[in-house]
Amino acid sequence: MIRLEKRPQPSRAWSYATPVLAVIVTMIAGGILFAVLGKDPVLSIRTIFWDPLFGEFAFYYRGQLLVKAGPLILIAIGLSLGFRAGIWNIGAEGQYIIGAICGAAVGLAFYPMEARWLIFPLMVIAGAVGGFLWAMIPAILKTRFNTNEILVSLLLVYVAEQLLASMALGTLRNPEGSGFPGSRNLQQYDSAANTELIAGTGMHWGVVAALLAVIGAYVLLNRHMLGYQIRLTGQSPRAARFAGVRPRLLVVFCLGASGALAGLAGLFEVAGPAGQISIDFNSGYGFTAIIVAFLGRLHPVGILLAGLLLALTYIGGEAAQATLGLPAAAIQAFQGMLLFFLLAVDVLTNYRMRFGRAEVA
């Protein structure tokens, strides 16, 4: 008989150990899953986690790592602020799309003017503002009408997807694209392209922004009053109110910040790796970022590491798809499993296991 006993304080050691434990358990369970699919489990896990970094073609994959990790980290940092305070923005995917649309629209409006010093910064601002405004919809509905932000932000993802389709087929369609859906390719427009900064590394402005966001979030949470209020609200909303925290302001800030960061991620993606607004532009980064945020224990440095790990599963997943014929969906299920196991082993952080029969109180 196992009993759980609440710890007076969450265990520090376990809070570092649980994400690692969760990853290991997920690898084992994932191996079983891959074995069920008829693939060699050890080979599959090695193809996903080892070969992209140290294998034969690592020079190609390593560059991809930052390309995938950039948006994941950028979005997850924003989400983690709200998650800490119990404000659940789960519609980052929508804010990501709107950021991309706004940023790309600004860039395309200037086409074919040559003025990188003006156009690219304006696009960055438009991307952030787009994501911010999209996130303000659930924020204002929450503060003004007490509407559940989880449902509103999520439902807005589907609205954003329809908007994206409409933009790709209509307003932003390439006039010289002989009727094919999709906008002009921003990569071929020097003033708007989010180019690789150091050749072969995958380092682009989005990755720079992600690193800045990590540092910014760290400073905010540890050195700033607002960060303290966010942490306090998460731990005890009642105590926070007595301490003079204004909950509405916090809702607006947390949703706004995560929206702006998700919008930025969208802009850097559309101007860089993706290149254009197309119907299937979004690839689920907004949802995977939720896993990143939790796996990183909502801590900026943890998120940095978790983002790199999840990026690895994307890249390794593609590699496994190419070499082993592992279905793409297997990686999606694998990522979902990771969050499950993480939440399961998290019990060790907050509770102590006691073996033996419970005595009658």
Partner 1 sequence: MDLSTINPAVLLASLMVASTPILLAAIGELVVEKSGVLNLGVEGMMIVGAICGFAVSVETGSPVLGFVAAAAGSALLSMTFGILTQFFLSNQVATGLALTLFGLGLSALMGQGYVGIKPPAMGDLNLGPLGDIPFVGRVLFQHDVMVYVSLALVAAVWAFLKYTRAGLILRAVGESHDAAHALGYKVVVVRLAAIAFGGACAGLGGAYLSLIRVPQWTEGMTAGAGWIALAIVVFSSWRAWGVLIGAYLFGGVTVLQLNLQAAGLDVPVEYLSMSPYLITILVLVIMSSGRGRAALNAPASLGRSFHASH
Binding site for partner 1 (CB under 8 A): 4, 6, 37, 88, 90, 141, 144-148, 150-152, 154-159, 162-163, 165-166, 169-170, 287, 290-291, 294, 327-337, 339-340, 343-344, 346-347, 350-351, 358, 361
Identity of the residue, 155 or 305, whose beta carbon is nearer to partner 1 in the bound complex: 155
How many beta carbons lie within 10 A of that of residue 63, not counting itself? 17
CA distance 71 to 62: 16
Minimum distance, C-beta of residue 12 to partner 1, in the bound complex (Å): 19
Q: With respect to partner 1, which residue has the nearer C-beta, 123 or 252?
A: 252
Smallest gap, in angstroms, from Cβ of residue 243 to partner 1? 23
Q: Which lies closer to partner 1 via its Cβ, residue 226 or residue 279?
A: 279
Q: Which two tokens stand for residue 118?
A: 């003006």
Task: Tell me which H or E stretch contains 19.
Answer: helix 12-36
Q: Which is nearer to partner 1, 65 or 293 (CB)?
A: 293
CB of 165 to partner 1, least distance (A): 5
Q: How far is the CB of 156 from partner 1 (least distance, A)?
A: 7
CB of residue 361 to partner 1, shortest distance in Å: 4
Q: Which residue has the tokens 């793409």?
A: 328
Taking the complex as a whole, how short is the minimal distance between the CB of residue 145 and partner 1, in angstroms? 4
Q: Which CB atom, from 132 or from 334, has the smaller least distance to partner 1?
A: 334
For residue 102 the two structure tokens come to 């706004």
Beta-strand pair 351-355/2-6 = antiparallel
- CB of 301 closer than 8 Å to CB of 214: yes
Q: Which of 316, 305, 332, 296 is nearest to 49 (CA)?
A: 316
Q: At 2, is the secondary structure helix, strand, or coil? A: strand
> Of 144 and 223, which has the nearer Cβ to partner 1?
144
Residue 177: strand, helix, or coil: coil
Of residues 255, 335, 315, 253, the one with CA closest to residue 70? 315
